[in-house]
Amino acid sequence: MPTEQEKQKRFDALKKIRDEVLELKESPLCLERIKNKMHPVIGEGSHFASIMFVGEAPGANEAKQGRPFVGASGKFLNEMLESAGIKRDDVYITNIVKDRPPANRDPTPVEIEMYAPFLDRQIDIIKPSIIATLGRFSMEYVMRRLGLEKEIEPISKAHGKSYEARASYGTVRIIPLYHPAVALYNGSMRSVLKKDFEIIKHYAEK
């Protein structure tokens, strides 16, 4: 069990990230968020989570509430967590990009580069043993960041596989997953995602 001092230290470090994102005026997405009176989506969950889920960028529902995965994709993510016997409160969920791209478009390389250092810090603070990436953008960024660029392949081949990497705090396992949104557009993908979540459960129980 973490001590109160350890809890406070991680809380303060993550709060500092939130405060910096709130004032990231050099980002057009930040200015758009301020203009529209929306919220950044920093992340939520256990600050001592062994499993971290990393998506790409928040959507409209997320920007309204300031919470990750609260719309239709979030509902399906919750369903998958439940199917694998994993409590949402026990994991940490975030995105690479912390502000919503207009019209829910894909994040650009410039936007990823601008926001990714915040994700890097979140990983170093929380120290997860498993990072489950949601979608190809987060898969490619996390694998490159942790020295697995030579093993990157299309997500259609990589999903559900497990890759071992070295983070600043030790060994971490990367498990790429399809973004939950794919199951909303293609019902047959539900069983694929459910099977992939069993892989997370398998390694989490080791």
Query: pLDDT tens digits for 74-123?
Result: 999 999 999 999 999 999 999 999 999 998 899 999 999 999 999 999 99
Q: What domain count does the chain have?
A: 1
* pLDDT at residue number 183: 84
| Positions of the chain with pLDDT under 70 | none
* pLDDT at residue number 50: 97
* pLDDT at residue number 205: 82
Q: Residue 140 maps to which CATH number?
A: 3.40.470.10
* pLDDT at residue number 96: 97
Which residue type, as a one-letter code, is found at position 134?
Answer: L
3-state secondary structure the chain: CCCHHHHHHHHHHHHHHHHHHHCCCCCHHHHHHHHCCCCCCCCEECCCCCEEEEECCCCHHHHHHCCCCCCHHHHHHHHHHHHCCCCHHHCEEEECCCCCCHHHCCCCHHHHHHHHHHHHHHHHHHCCCEEEEECHHHHHHHHHHCCCHHHCCCHHHHCCCCEEEEECCEEEEEEEECCCHHHHHCCCHHHHHHHHHHHHHHHHCC
* pLDDT at residue number 53: 98
* pLDDT at residue number 103: 86
First to last CA, the chain: 19
Range of the domain at 29: 4-204
* pLDDT at residue number 185: 85
**Cα 183 from chain centroid (whole Å):** 18
Tokens 């203009």 correspond to: 35
